[in-house]
Amino acid sequence: MSDLVVIVYPTEANAEGMRQKILGLQKEYLIEVSDAVIAVKQTDGTVKLNQLFSTTAAGTATGGLWGLLVGLIFLNPILGVALGAASGALAGAMSDYGINDDFMKQLSGSLQPGNAALFLLIKKFTADKVLEALKGTGGTVLKTSLDDSKEKALREAISAHA
């Protein structure tokens, strides 16, 4: 079962710095993240999502490859690539992996303009080592699905002075 953690930062750069730190910890096998999205509240009130993985781009590439193969079979590879890429992009744009986009936009609606929220969907983590690495990184925990003791430890770690 995965846990959701949402941390608010004063700027998008702060949130991106934390996302990169988390991804670095993932390379060390201390945490396993299935999704890490930054939601930024624009000055006009809209919310922009910076996804870690673009399903539209992946769908376009995959669809283009399959379209090329099918096009080669029917002796029209250019048409096959075009149709495959278009259908792959459409399928990618319509699919949603990880954290629900509508949920992120709704929760981020309460942010101040310019603020950013880092949404993490965590599969598993080594709590003591991850919390030590995040010590003093700042931010405010907005929402979690962690149990009370882990949530308290997370709040203390990110607000502690390094």
C-alpha 83/C-alpha 86 separation (Å) is 5
For the segment 134-155, what is each residue's pLDDT rounded down to a tens digit? 888 888 999 998 999 999 999 9
Kindly report the average pLDDT of the chain as a whole number: 81
pTM tops 0.85: no
The boundaries of every CATH 3.40.1520 domain in the chain are 3-53+97-159
Sequence letter at residue 82: A
Q: Is residue 88 over pLDDT 70?
A: no
CB 103 within 8 A of CB 126: no
What are the tokens at 54? 């673009």
What are the tokens at 9? 């930062």
C-alpha 95/C-alpha 75 separation (Å) is 31
Fold topology of 3-53+97-159: hypothetical protein tt1634 (3.40.1520)
